[in-house]
Amino acid sequence: MELKLVQTDSYKALLKANKDWATKRLAEEPEFFNKLAAGQSPEILWIGCADSRVPANEVTGTRAGEVFVHRNIANVIVHSDMNMLSVLDYAVNALKVKHVIVAGHYGCGGVTAALSKKQFGLIDNWLRHIKDVYRIHSHELDAIADHTEKVNRLVELNVVEQVHNLCRTTVVQNVWKERTDLEIHGWVIDLKTGLIKDMNVTQKDAHSLGYVYELNEEAV
């Protein structure tokens, strides 16, 4: 059931929609909420953009309990972000997820803002991480004349770089020392079609990360 919010009563509409949803779920599957309350065992962690147009379950057609989710502006992996690291640690070590997906989307407002010189406020400090991605790939990006194409290419490159950043965390690398079934993926969602583009940057171990990024327990 699609919910269309009217600005004046959007809050009450949410509560009504919740009741309607719960009633419908019980009618379709009487044990649905009993099973949901019993615990979760998702195999997927989704690290996506906070944009309201790209909810993980909606995009992937999955049910409640099937995807563990963390979202922030422009799906950025920052090594000092204790929120993201805590979600990641719980997902891979407690829930034992097998797939972590970094999911960006074309037309991302955060990426668009990062390509400009305008100041937006506190968020500028966050967007700096995307500007760093631009710096790394500036030669390619500066050769793209169309602004929309440039934004969308930076969206793709940002996903690729964030996959690498994720793999470089001690959390992921330590899991790879214990088990071989954890894979890191990079996706881009096309809002015009609803389809996902796999960036084909899946990582299964730390061996391709580079000398100083592949961590071990040996002292130098």
Residue of 70, 108, 164, 167 marked catalytic: 108
- For the question of residue 167 being annotated catalytic, the response is no
Which tokens go with 206? 């730390």
- For the question of residue 79 being annotated catalytic, the response is no
Residue of 9, 53, 142, 181 marked catalytic: 53
CA dist 178 and 211 (Å) reads 20
The answer to whether the beta carbons of residues 62 and 104 sit under 8 Å apart is no
Which tokens go with 28? 């379709």
- For the question of residue 53 being annotated catalytic, the response is yes
Residue of 49, 129, 153, 185 marked catalytic: 49
Residue of 9, 20, 105, 164 marked catalytic: 105
Residue of 51, 70, 164, 168 marked catalytic: 51
Residue type at 193 in one-letter notation = T
Express the helix, strand and coil content of the chain in percent, nearest 5 each.
Answer: 45, 15, 40
CA dist 42 and 160 (Å) reads 24
Annotated catalytic sites, by residue?
49, 51, 53, 105, 108
